[in-house]
Structure 1
Amino acid sequence: MAPLTKENNLLNEAHHYGYKKNFRTALPQLLAVSVKNLLLLGYGMTLGFPTILIPAVKEPVEGENLHLESSEISWISSINLIVVPVGCALSGIVTSPLGRRRAMQMVNVPFFIAWLIFHFSTNTGHLYGALFLTGLAGGLLEAPVLTYVAEITQPHLRGALTATSTLCITIGVFTQFLFGLLFYWRTVALINIIFTILAVIALCFVPESPHWLVSRKRHNEAMESLQWLRGWTSKEVVEDELKDIQALYKRKEAGTEDQEETLKEKIVLYLDKTFLVPYFLVSFSFFVGHFSGMTTLQTYAVTIFQMLEAPIDKYYATLILGILQILGSITCVMLVHYTGKRPLTFFSTATAGICCLLVAVYEGYIKSNLVLNITTTFDDFNNTTLTDVVNNDLNNPYSWIPTALLLIVAFVTSAGIRLLPWILIGEVFSTKTRSGAAGLASAIGYIFGFLTNKIYISMLEKLSILGTYTLYGFICLIGCLVFYFILPETEGKALIDIENHFAGVKRLTNEVYKTKKKEYVEASKMRDLKGTSNPTFEGDNAI
């Protein structure tokens, strides 16, 4: 009767706590992911820093010894992004032996060194070296960050907690816009070091991944980690989940007896449509996201707002841009579970495409016609050039139009297409290819980011603003159409169902799966008794 009494006590406890117990289970996962996000906050700072660095070295203040030409500036905006894939390729090899938590701490070392180099830089080589380090560190953090989140979170929290990663990167970018408004760029580099140190310290207070601990046969520590992550609970609550993890790694060990055969099988897996089709989907999402105009706007924000003759100070416009990116990311985090990914993606790409085309129309036609009308009406301005007339806000009351349109682009892309590929990475690949595919997909995303920034100045010179934003607009609209046919609705779906969709076994519906409240309470009781499920086992018992 003892086991039955114990089970009844656990059921009564689950029924008594109700919502509070669910919240208590979610809270430590939220805390652990938030601490991990400090690392991504620092990475976002490295992406936003070129935005305030570029205008400072293009038109330096008195006493500044760094003065860069346009060809050098194009590398400032992109060199870190092209190095990231190198870090991604090395990420698993370099960081896996250290453990997820320790690897995330060690990645902060190159960030720390890079900020010091930025502060004390005296020539272009120093800037390039610091950007190389930030790009390398950004790639190295991919494996421990993505793996850590997947290995500690529950399925029903996975989507929202994964989306917070991009949100924190966006906040990191925004801090640079804000700091750039308040401080000189060399001072900003020193301030950024503080966040690097905070990330290292905070990571000391969260547990290591139970999966990694089991893989190192540190089972007692894995038990303690699960107890912490599932609400500082007892061993009995998580013992079944620990057994599942242990069984998983026993199967992996049994499958590595013939390493040569396993290697051949892995090569075949990456040539199968279960990898190629999802990889195309994620890669296309990255392509549309970067060529939606937002990547270049984020990097060249100050100069773009100056070029478009923003009716407010270009630095304040950049600050508003950062705020709207954050609000867009928050919108995505809050809505994705209810609306699903498809509606957010359609709205995001269609709206961004229309706004980019309107910017092109304004700059190519409306603005030029406005100049002719103004010069025809004001005959007293015979000695005034067309540019002088347009730059006069009294004569050009519509100068707010392109600025407003680009700010809308910042919001809608952050609410959809910019976050989409990062969420899909953790969902669309099969169990056997998920870890390797995540690195390959991340790499292609950063390559697209590099290309977007690197060719932007050349595009302006050859195509002008009219041609550049027309291209961005058509890419978004075509992307919206393509997504309608190739993007399945994965929100709330079990990983095994998503895998079967891309394998051609059974197609997913476009319905968003939501657990009814009553079913969720009953499922919560069973999780408390049997151990909380993890994405690794979601295919068998997803809620």
Structure 2
Amino acid sequence: MATKQDIEREKVNLAEPFIEREKDTEVKSSSDNGDLGMVFLSTFVAVCGSFEFGSCMGYSSPAQFGIMEDLNLSYSKYSVFGSIVTIGAMIGAITSGRIADFAGRKGNMKMSSIVCIVGWFAIYIASSDLLLDFGRFLTGFGIGNLSYVVPVYIAEITPKNLRGALATTNQLFITVGIAVAYLIGAFVSWRTLALTGIVPSLVMLIGLFFIPESPRWLAMVGRQKEFEAELRSLRGAGADISQEQTEIQDSIEMLRQIPEVRILDLFNRRNNRYVTIGVGLMVFQQFIGINGIIYYAGQIFVSAGVSPNVGGILYSSLQVVLTAFGATLMDKAGRKLLFLISVSGMLLGNLLIGISFILKEHHLAFDIAPTLAFVGVMVYIGSFSVGVGPVPWVIMSEIFPINVKGTAGSLVTLVNWFGSWVVSYSFFYLFTWSSWGVFFLYAAVCVMAILFTIALVPETKGRTLEEIQASIDN
């Protein structure tokens, strides 16, 4: 029988939008993992949803000027289009857990891919802002679900010693999707770009017919024969699955004995510091301005006198490289230190962009201003990719006690998407108010994030979950 500690390490991934980074660094032989071909295929199909996520997030910037010209949209109406994706995503995030528990992980991914396909097609045929916004809302709902179910599915099918590595492919493929959207958007119309957004969802939809359902979900709903068959298909016909099978069943049984936690329970004296750290990190992650800059990077480059196509391709490619690099540093530099370095880089990036627009507004240093804006965006995006992007999600998987993780996950995901909506919707209004002031405002948020992290956020590297939670309680 598995120990209580073993079961807790396993069961955190059953129905929550956060992935616990694997603490066990013991290297197992290939025979322990069995045949990994199906695991890799299943992961590839799942991260097509992550690619779809990135395609959707990256679409609005390269498509902006074409849509505004063809449909005669004002900046205000385009702000609605750019930000309504987050409204759909918030609803998707709220419902994703229940859909995944009712219809299964594959069922959720199938539904999400179909909704995304319909949404992209609505954008493609749109002749008015009403249908355009409706399509954008649908794609938002789809990726809101995918943002939950893809990492959960990957965690539930992956052997222990590969879980951390394969879990990082979710964030990596999001950045790849953004980069591809910028690259293709530089050469095709906004309608054609919308059609390319259908591709990852279509690949996922077809691929789901060839991969297994999550064995953990099958065990959770009592489908014992299918549970054993799908676990064996993931581990290989000759693999010994008896120990893993027993551990999964034990973890399911212990989960059923834990009382359900309501949303109000998160704010009692016992849990409020966990919630403060978790929600605080997500608030700062968004209100530093990342989605405003990503959604409207084209306008920033144009206003600064830099080609939006060249700038978009370069910075989205940089994002892919540095996201992969940041994953290698997570367990070496530590979460807290990496986050602080990342926020400091974003502070510098915001200051450089703001200074460039001050120079432009006062007709000074015409040769220097565009360079400052370009360098500022690169420093900003690169810094975000290394730490502020991935670190809050990793810390979330570590600080919450096991009995509140599911409820806390829904709250934190909702806060994240709500912050994304506020920033993406307000960016143009702030930019109109002051082309340089908006970036100094984001820089001020960076300073607050640094102070918050130093004062409240624990370093979680190399600690057990019990040690992390004890350090927060003290």
TM-score, normalised by the number of residues in structure 1: 0.76
Instruction: Establish whether residue 177 from structure 1 lines up as the match of residue 187 from structure 2.
Output: no
- Single out whichever of 422-431 and 323-332 deviates more from structure 2: 422-431
After TM superposition, the structure 1 = structure 2 runs for residues 38-437 of structure 1, keeping only pairs within 5 Å, are: 38-58=48-68, 60=69, 64=70, 66-229=71-234, 231-232=235-236, 234=238, 237-253=240-256, 262=259, 266=262, 269-273=265-269, 275-310=271-306, 313-365=307-359, 368=362, 370=364, 390=366, 396=367, 399-437=370-408
Unmatched runs of 5 consecutive residues or more in structure 1 = 1-16, 256-261, 372-389, 391-395, 505-543
- In the other structure, the counterpart of 1:375 is none
- In the other structure, the counterpart of 2:7 is none
| Deviations 1:22-74, CA, capped at 9 Å, x for gaps | 7767765454333211111112211111112221122x2xxx3x110121011
| Deviations 1:254-290, CA, capped at 9 Å, x for gaps | 56xxxxxx55x64664233554323322322222222
SS at match of 1:270: helix
Larger Rg: 1
Q: Following the alignment from structure 1 to structure 2, what is the Cα–Cα distance between the partners of residues 430 and 499?
A: 7
SS at match of 2:436: helix
- In the other structure, the counterpart of 1:468 is 438
Shift in CA distance, 205/491, structure 1 to aligned 2, threshold 3 Å: farther
- Taking only the aligned residue pairs, the percentage that are identical comes to 23
Cα deviation for residue 233 of structure 1 reads 5.6
Cα deviation for residue 232 of structure 1 reads 1.8
Residue identity opposite 1:480 in structure 2: I
Q: Following the alignment from structure 2 to structure 1, what is the Cα–Cα distance between the partners of residues 412 and 28?
A: 40
Q: Following the alignment from structure 2 to structure 1, what is the Cα–Cα distance between the partners of residues 290 and 257?
A: 47
Shift in CA distance, 317/169, structure 1 to aligned 2, threshold 3 Å: same
Shift in CA distance, 366/129, structure 1 to aligned 2, threshold 3 Å: closer
| Deviations 1:449-494, CA, capped at 9 Å, x for gaps | 11111111111222x1221111111211221232122222223433
User: Is the Cα–Cα contact under 8 Å of residues 354 and 437 in structure 2 kept in the other structure?
Assistant: yes
Q: Following the alignment from structure 1 to structure 2, what is the Cα–Cα distance between the partners of residues 130 and 479?
A: 35
User: Is the Cα–Cα contact under 8 Å of residues 356 and 405 in structure 1 kept in the other structure?
Assistant: yes
- In the other structure, the counterpart of 1:6 is none
- Single out whichever of 110-119 and 489-498 deviates more from structure 2: 489-498
User: Is the Cα–Cα contact under 8 Å of residues 86 and 139 in structure 1 kept in the other structure?
Assistant: yes
Instruction: Establish whether residue 36 from structure 1 lines up as the match of residue 46 from structure 2.
Output: yes
SS at match of 2:447: helix
SS at match of 1:444: helix
Shift in CA distance, 35/413, structure 1 to aligned 2, threshold 3 Å: same
Cα deviation for residue 191 of structure 1 reads 2.2
Cα deviation for residue 399 of structure 1 reads 2.7
Q: Following the alignment from structure 1 to structure 2, what is the Cα–Cα distance between the partners of residues 167 and 190?
A: 22
TM-score, normalised by the number of residues in structure 2: 0.87
Shift in CA distance, 160/347, structure 1 to aligned 2, threshold 3 Å: farther
**How big is the alpha-carbon RMSD for the aligned residues of Structure 1 and Structure 2?**
2.5
Q: Following the alignment from structure 1 to structure 2, what is the Cα–Cα distance between the partners of residues 411 and 267?
A: 35
- Single out whichever of 289-298 and 341-350 deviates more from structure 2: 289-298
Cα deviation for residue 341 of structure 1 reads 1.4
- In the other structure, the counterpart of 1:383 is none
User: Is the Cα–Cα contact under 8 Å of residues 164 and 333 in structure 1 kept in the other structure?
Assistant: no
SS at match of 1:78: helix
Unmatched runs of 5 consecutive residues or more in structure 2 = 1-26
Q: Following the alignment from structure 1 to structure 2, what is the Cα–Cα distance between the partners of residues 288 and 406?
A: 18
- Single out whichever of 31-40 and 72-81 deviates more from structure 2: 31-40
Give every structure 1 segment of 4 or more consecutive aligned residues whose post-TM-superposition deviation is greater than 6 Å.
Answer: none
Shift in CA distance, 457/292, structure 1 to aligned 2, threshold 3 Å: same
Q: Following the alignment from structure 2 to structure 1, what is the Cα–Cα distance between the partners of residues 311 and 46?
A: 30
Q: Following the alignment from structure 1 to structure 2, what is the Cα–Cα distance between the partners of residues 99 and 420?
A: 28
User: Is the Cα–Cα contact under 8 Å of residues 88 and 143 in structure 1 kept in the other structure?
Assistant: yes
Q: Following the alignment from structure 1 to structure 2, what is the Cα–Cα distance between the partners of residues 195 and 142?
A: 15
